[in-house]
């Protein structure tokens, strides 16, 4: 067993999108999701590795440009370094963007913790012709530096050697920036006052805390206000112009960087890089949005069309299975449970696994290339006009996969009101769980135009989200969105391995849901459809019929009969259950082709009410998992209930307009 002195706790810090998670995965062998845009990691994650007899814990922190704690993810990073006191911090520095990354370095140094700089993406800097003088840099920053290319797992052992070396090195490389006489005097004065409070002295580096107070850090002020020295500190702070001090302190840091930078790096003079060339077109004022829409359309067209043969293969396998069950399983009720319930329900969900895999693979390619960050950029002007923060578009795009991480991704938005609006509108973005509903109904009723109909559903989700944001801005969450500043990452060729892992993780989650919550859901529906004892399976006299008739009056104006009503009611648990329930209630076994035929033959289901159903399913309410994360992220039942009721109201109105409007037009 390892002793405590063989344990090392290391925090990975750095600017957003410099490769922290890639390095984390390379060191710990984890498979955390990596994206090519700022804000992928919103919660700290721990991993372990054993190296040369040491048990090393690595903590991957959300990216932060500074330690100013303007957004929630910045607070997570800062609090971890200060309060949990890791043995050292590895700051991952983007070698191709050295100047900007050094700002965080200057702040980390003030935290009096051991720092190692991992100079990552050296390959990009070298390819561009930049030259970095490592020895000079180490000397000037008084900090050990290791070159890494995390994406190729280069320099990892050297970095771990350095971690062990620093762990056993009692010398601390302190390095302070001088802020000029006036500010230094105030720092000294505040430090002296803070030193009288033992709780603060034990927890925080006093110089760092004094600087943060002079910069007007609200989070630190709150901490000080709870201490015994609050009034004295406030007296000092009241005597200065904090905005001016904040600007002066930032100026001093930049001046220090400007002195250091030319001595440690020479940068090649760039004419036009590939990234610049691509950006010139993809962020073009007129072409940007049409190109974005066309690429998304291409992704959905492929998701539908390329998956078809693979869906057919699954269908063949389930048809064989259903045949085996019906001929060999006794007694009859068990054959019905397995055939009409489990195989019909779960099978009708599993048949869409190829679509889910393809969609996630394509989204992962778009994300890894760096294009999604541009999508946020090109939509910013439009988003700002309608009262949304440009950064909100990234969680919305993430919502195409699953709404749960998308709602969590809103943490990277600094302004609380912008964040709340984003959380409330993300559930309107069509997630992977809703895709089977579209494929089933669009494929059945719209033939070759199915891909376009599915694309239209995704666009409708975004439009409703955007319109809702505007409505919230005008009514319940008034105010202007904060200005949008986001660093555009360089374009990269997406890593196939990373895309396949992302695809598998999400696809596997879908399969797991089919084997758990959907299996449970369809079994309950089978039971409700089979009882009371002696009724015809799935008939109006069964329990499922009674429940369906209970909700039917509310949903009838949208064109839904009692069977669709039941499917929608159970769909609030997980949207996949809608298709599973339809599979059970239309009693056609697992066979999707047969399900399509059954839907086509049913006089109660037409292209018009199938369109209305798709619209309602898209908008009607977040699933249970999304609801719980809304509660967690807003910390409010009021907003959670509001999200549910608002969603149902919008879905009802939109589906009503589609169905009744279509009828008026003669469809």
Partner 1 sequence: MVTKGENMKMKAHSKMLLAFLLGCSYIIAGTIQSSTGIIRILSGKPITSGLPHIITEALYIPHDILSGLILILLGTVFIYGFMELCQGIEEGIAYVYVGTLLAMIFAGIYLLVTTGNILEAYLLKNEDFIGWTPLDDLRPEIYLGFVSLIAYAKWKKQFDVKNE
Residues that bind partner 1 (CB under 8 A): 127-129, 268-274, 276-278, 280-282, 284, 287, 290-291, 294-295, 297-298, 301-302, 305-309, 312-313, 316, 452, 455
Nearer to partner 1 (CB atom), residue 131 or residue 203: 131
Q: How far is the CB of 454 from partner 1 (least distance, A)?
A: 12
Nearer to partner 1 (CB atom), residue 337 or residue 459: 459
Angle ∠(593,599,601) on CA atoms, nearest 5: 100
Q: Which two tokens stand for residue 576?
A: 């996949």
Q: How far is the CB of 393 from partner 1 (least distance, A)?
A: 21
Angle ∠(37,43,45) on CA atoms, nearest 5: 100
Q: Which two tokens stand for residue 443?
A: 């494929």
Running DSSP on this structure, what letter comes out for residue 7? E
Q: How far is the CB of 448 from partner 1 (least distance, A)?
A: 8
Nearer to partner 1 (CB atom), residue 53 or residue 447: 447
Nearer to partner 1 (CB atom), residue 127 or residue 218: 127
- Give the DSSP H or E segment for 62: none
Other CB atoms within 10 Å distance of the CB of residue 594: 18
Q: How far is the CB of 462 from partner 1 (least distance, A)?
A: 17
Q: How far is the CB of 662 from partner 1 (least distance, A)?
A: 16
Q: How far is the CB of 305 from partner 1 (least distance, A)?
A: 4
Q: How far is the CB of 293 from partner 1 (least distance, A)?
A: 9
Q: How far is the CB of 446 from partner 1 (least distance, A)?
A: 12
Q: 2: buried, middle or exposed (CB in 10 Å: 19+, 13-18, 0-12)?
A: exposed
The angle that helices 435-445 and 353-369 make with each other, rounded to 10 degrees, is 120
For 58, list phi and psi in degrees, rounded to 5: -110, 130
CA 336, CA 236: separation in Å to the nearest integer? Answer: 79
Bond prior to 252 in cis (omega within 30° of 0): no
DSSP per residue, 303-338: HHHTTHHHHHHHHHHHHHHHHHHHHH--SHHHHHII
Angle ∠(22,359,467) on CA atoms, nearest 5: 100
SS3 of 341-366: HHHHHHHHHHCCHHHHHHHHHHHHHH
Q: How far is the CB of 303 from partner 1 (least distance, A)?
A: 10
Q: How far is the CB of 577 from partner 1 (least distance, A)?
A: 28
Q: How far is the CB of 442 from partner 1 (least distance, A)?
A: 14
Q: How far is the CB of 386 from partner 1 (least distance, A)?
A: 24
User: Bridge partners of 117?
Assistant: 91, 145
DSSP per residue, 170-231: -----------HHHHHHHHHHHHHHTT-HHHHHHS-HHHHHHHHHTT-HHHHHHHHTSTTHH
CA 247, CA 288: separation in Å to the nearest integer? Answer: 36
Alpha carbon separation from 600 to 185, 265, 447 (Å, rounded): 81, 68, 12
CA 149, CA 96: separation in Å to the nearest integer? Answer: 12
Q: Closest Cα to residue 388, out of 433, 424, 437, 335? A: 424
Cβ proximity of 43 and 408 under 8 Å? yes
Q: How far is the CB of 317 from partner 1 (least distance, A)?
A: 12
Name 88's Cβ contacts closer than 8 Å, sequence gap at least 6: 8, 10, 11, 113, 114, 115, 116, 163, 166, 167
User: Bridge partners of 188?
Assistant: none
Nearer to partner 1 (CB atom), residue 274 or residue 638: 274
CA 172, CA 169: separation in Å to the nearest integer? Answer: 8
Q: Closest Cα to residue 507, out of 402, 631, 643, 391? A: 402
Q: How far is the CB of 538 from partner 1 (least distance, A)?
A: 29
The angle that helices 206-214 and 218-225 make with each other, rounded to 10 degrees, is 120
Q: How far is the CB of 94 from partner 1 (least distance, A)?
A: 17
CA 22, CA 34: separation in Å to the nearest integer? Answer: 6
CA 336, CA 329: separation in Å to the nearest integer? Answer: 9
Q: How far is the CB of 600 from partner 1 (least distance, A)?
A: 15
Nearer to partner 1 (CB atom), residue 157 or residue 284: 284
Q: Closest Cα to residue 38, out of 54, 16, 6, 64? A: 16
């Amino acid at each position: 067993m390892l002793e405590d002195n063989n344990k090392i706790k290391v925090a990975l810090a750095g600017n957003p999108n410099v490769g922290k998670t890639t390095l984390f995965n390379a060191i710990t062998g984890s498979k955390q999701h990596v994206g090519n845009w700022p804000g992928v990691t919103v919660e700290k994650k721990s991993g372990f590795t054993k190296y040369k007899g040491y048990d090393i814990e690595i903590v991957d922190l959300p990216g932060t440009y500074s330690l100013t704690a303007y957004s929630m993810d910045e607070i997570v990073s800062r609090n971890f370094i200060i309060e949990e006191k890791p043995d050292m911090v590895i700051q991952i520095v983007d070698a191709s963007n050295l100047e900007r990354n050094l700002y965080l370095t200057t702040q980390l140094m003030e935290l009096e913790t051991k720092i190692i700089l991992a100079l990552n993406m050296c390959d990009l800097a070298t390819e561009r012709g930049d030259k970095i003088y490592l020895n000079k840099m180490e000397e000037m920053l008084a900090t050990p530096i290791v070159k890494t290319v995390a994406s190729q797992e280069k320099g990892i052992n050297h970095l771990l050697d350095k971690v062990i070396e620093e762990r056993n090195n009692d010398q601390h490389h302190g390095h302070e920036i001088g802020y000029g006489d006036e500010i230094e005097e105030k720092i000294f004065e505040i430090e002296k006052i803070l030193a009288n409070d033992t709780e603060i002295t034990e927890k925080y580096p006093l110089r760092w805390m004094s600087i943060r107070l002079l910069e007007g850090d609200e989070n630190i002020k709150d901490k000080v206000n709870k201490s015994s020295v609050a009034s004295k500190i406030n007296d000092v702070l009241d005597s200065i112009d904090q905005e001016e001090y904040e600007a002066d302190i930032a100026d001093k840091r930049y001046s220090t960087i400007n002195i250091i930078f030319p001595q440690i790096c020479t940068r090649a003079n760039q004419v036009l890089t590939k990234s610049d060339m691509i950006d010139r077109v993809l962020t073009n004022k007129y072409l940007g949005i049409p190109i974005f829409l066309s690429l998304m359309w291409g992704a959905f067209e492929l998701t539908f069309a390329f998956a078809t043969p693979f869906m057919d293969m699954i269908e063949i396998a389930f048809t064989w299975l259903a045949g085996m069950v019906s001929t060999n399983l006794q007694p009859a009720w068990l054959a019905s449970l397995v055939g009409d319930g489990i195989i019909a329900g779960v099978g009708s969900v599993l048949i869409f696994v190829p679509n889910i895999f393809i969609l996630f693979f394509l989204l992962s390619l778009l994300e890894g290339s760096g294009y999604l960050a541009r999508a946020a950029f090109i939509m910013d002007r439009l988003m700002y006009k309608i009262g949304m923060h440009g950064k909100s578009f990234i969680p919305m795009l993430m919502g195409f996969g699953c709404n749960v991480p998308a709602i969590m991704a809103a943490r990277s938005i600094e302004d609380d009101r912008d964040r709340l609006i984003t959380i409330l509108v993300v559930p309107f973005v069509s997630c992977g769980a809703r895709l089977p509903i579209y494929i089933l109904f669009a494929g059945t009723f719209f033939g070759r135009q199915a891909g376009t109909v599915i694309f239209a559903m995704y666009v409708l989700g975004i439009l409703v989200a955007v319109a809702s944001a505007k409505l919230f801005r005008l009514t319940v969450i008034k105010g202007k969105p904060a200005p949008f500043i986001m660093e555009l990452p360089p374009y990269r060729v997406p890593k196939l391995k990373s895309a396949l892992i992302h695809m598998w993780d999400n696809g596997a989650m879908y399969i797991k849901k089919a084997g758990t919550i959907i299996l449970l859901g369809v079994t309950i529906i089978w039971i409700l459809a089979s009882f009371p004892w002696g009724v015809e399976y799935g008939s109006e006299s069964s329990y499922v019929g009674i429940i369906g008739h209970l909700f039917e009056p509310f949903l009838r104006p949208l064109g839904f009969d009692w069977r669709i009503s039941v499917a929608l009611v159970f769909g609030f648990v997980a949207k996949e259950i809608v298709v599973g329930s339809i599979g059970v209630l239309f009693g056609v076994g697992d066979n999707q082709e047969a399900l399509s035929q059954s839907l086509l033959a049913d006089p109660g289901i037409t292209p018009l009410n199938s369109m209305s159903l798709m619209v309602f399913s898209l908008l009607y309410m977040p699933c249970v998992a999304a609801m719980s994360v809304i509660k967690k992220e807003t910390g409010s039942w009021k907003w959670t209930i509001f999200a549910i009721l608002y969603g149902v109201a919008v879905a009802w109105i939109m589906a009503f307009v589609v169905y009744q409007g279509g009828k008026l037009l003669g469809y």
